[in-house]
Structure 1
């Protein structure tokens, strides 16, 4: 995951979902930090990205930080998105929630799990959830296949 950098597509990366009218809330229960930002959410075959209007948030003991963008891996290796679900409130836009684990290279502070809540102000929550679930399942299956691969015997 990276934060406050320009979101550039990687090699072999394709955008499968794009919504320019979302509100993102990041909540950290360690020090009660809350970040609320509006912007554009993109889902590619390997990561979730958010480009937002700059917002300032406070890190206890470290001062103010500026939040502008976010990029998180679909599967959790060294940080990423896990435990996602679709929330359908009685009133207001539908939301997608997940736990966001900062990677070792992230500048998101403090470095502990955050609850990510995305409100889809102009629709698209169902489509996003379907795309994310399909991509996360495929990525996890591909990751597990690589782990369970049978290695040839060692030949000195």
Structure 2
């Protein structure tokens, strides 16, 4: 699945085969294997095999991908168990492009095929840069040079 980047957005790392679980505060749950992209502006989860989830009163919905603004993924934690795969969790209060729209979401990524350390390094670096840009009131990076 091809992803569409926003202006000045750069992919820092892409990790395939990550078990993804999204849980809404109303109980809606989405589970699938995803390809996870960390960019300088967002975390993008693309479902590799498609997933269907039920929204109360609205019927079934297909899940293909979601873009989480990097600063909306806070607080986040990285879980390194004694046995088993690495996990990463966050709660997202900001409205996502998912239904239901008025609820908060918990995101859990499980790295059973590797890539967790690289994900963590790139995510923390992107988060820190975005936070610093926000604190300095820098809204956008300068546009790329064009001839």
Report TM bin, short chain.
0.7 to 0.9
Aligned to 1:47: 42
- RMSD over aligned CA atoms reads 2.0
1:49-105 superposed Cα distances (whole Å, 9 cap, x missing partner) = 111121111111221111111111101xxxx321111012343211110112343x7
4+ aligned runs moved over 4 Å, structure 1: none
8 Å Cα contact 1:27/1:116 also seen in 2: yes
Aligned to 1:152: none
Give the TM-score taking structure 1 as reference length.
0.79
Q: Which has the larger radius of gyration?
A: 1
Structure 2 SS opposite 1:25: strand
- Tell whether 2:104 aligns with 1:113: yes
Aligned to 2:11: 15
Q: How many residues align?
A: 137
Alpha-carbon distance between aligned partners in 1 of 2:124 and 2:105, rounded to the nearest angstrom:
20
Give the TM-score taking structure 2 as reference length.
0.83
- Tell whether 2:142 aligns with 1:142: no
8 Å Cα contact 1:43/1:49 also seen in 2: yes
Structure 2 gap segments, 5+ residues each:
139-147
Structure 1 gap segments, 5+ residues each:
148-156
Aligned to 2:23: 27
8 Å Cα contact 2:18/2:34 also seen in 1: yes
Aligned to 2:115: 124
